[in-house]
Amino acid sequence: MDSSLKLICSGVAITLTFVAFVPYIRSIFAEATKPHIFSWIIWGTTTSIVFFAQLEAEGGIGAWPIGVSGFVAAFIALLAFIKRSDASITKMDWVFFLSALASLPFWYFTSNPLWAVVVLTIVDLLGFGPTIRKAYDFPHQENMAFFLLFMARNIFALLALENYSLATLLFPLSVGIACLFLLVMVGYRRRIVHTE
């Protein structure tokens, strides 16, 4: 794929990031969406670090959507804290959160961007734990359009990468698959909860 097409894919991915996040943030202010603070702290931290690791692994303009997403995810974590969005923090949520935070220092000790991305991808996927647990119990409190757009964003971020390697592919591919899983699970739970 030539560089102008990769730039277009990166632009589409960044646009989809904002198209997903703006309504999601509005729904937080309207109290229709109640993000889990632990998930968003993890996602903001790991996504920002993966952005720098992807740049080091020569991901180029394909890394830009990940950087934008990291910044906005940190903002959503702040909103979740300010609005006290989720009061249903469980012991299992603490396990996911502390496991994710405990894993973060490992990326620092690896001078190789691949190992940093592997560790951070695992940590980021752990961040889905509290959201999946909450969405299972309260499927109508999650915004499915957001996760659908986010999955599409990751597809375009993958297409925009200037260098394809495990270090550049692993994170957006894994997050895209996790979004797909969450969408399927929430859709299923909404039908079940609706009929109960």
What DSSP assignment string belongs to 61-82?
Answer: GGGHHHHHHHHHHHHHHHHHHH
The predicted-structure confidence for 16-71, as pLDDT tens digits, reads as follows 989 988 988 998 888 887 787 878 888 888 888 888 888 888 888 888 998 999 99
Supply the pTM of this predicted model.
Answer: 0.76
Q: Residue 95 pLDDT more than 80? A: no
Q: Residue 94 pLDDT more than 90? A: no
DSSP state, residue 139: G
Question: Which band of pLDDT confidence, cut at 50, 70 and 90, is reported for residue 111?
Answer: low
- Number of C-alpha atoms within 13 angstroms, CB side, residue 173? 12
What's the mean pLDDT when you consider all of the chain?
84
Cα torsion for 106, 103, 47, 21, to the nearest 10°? -170
Angstrom distance (rounded) from CA 161 to CA 61? 6
What is the residue whose two structure tokens read 């030539």? 2
Q: Residue 81 pLDDT more than 90? A: no
Q: Residue 106 pLDDT more than 70? A: no
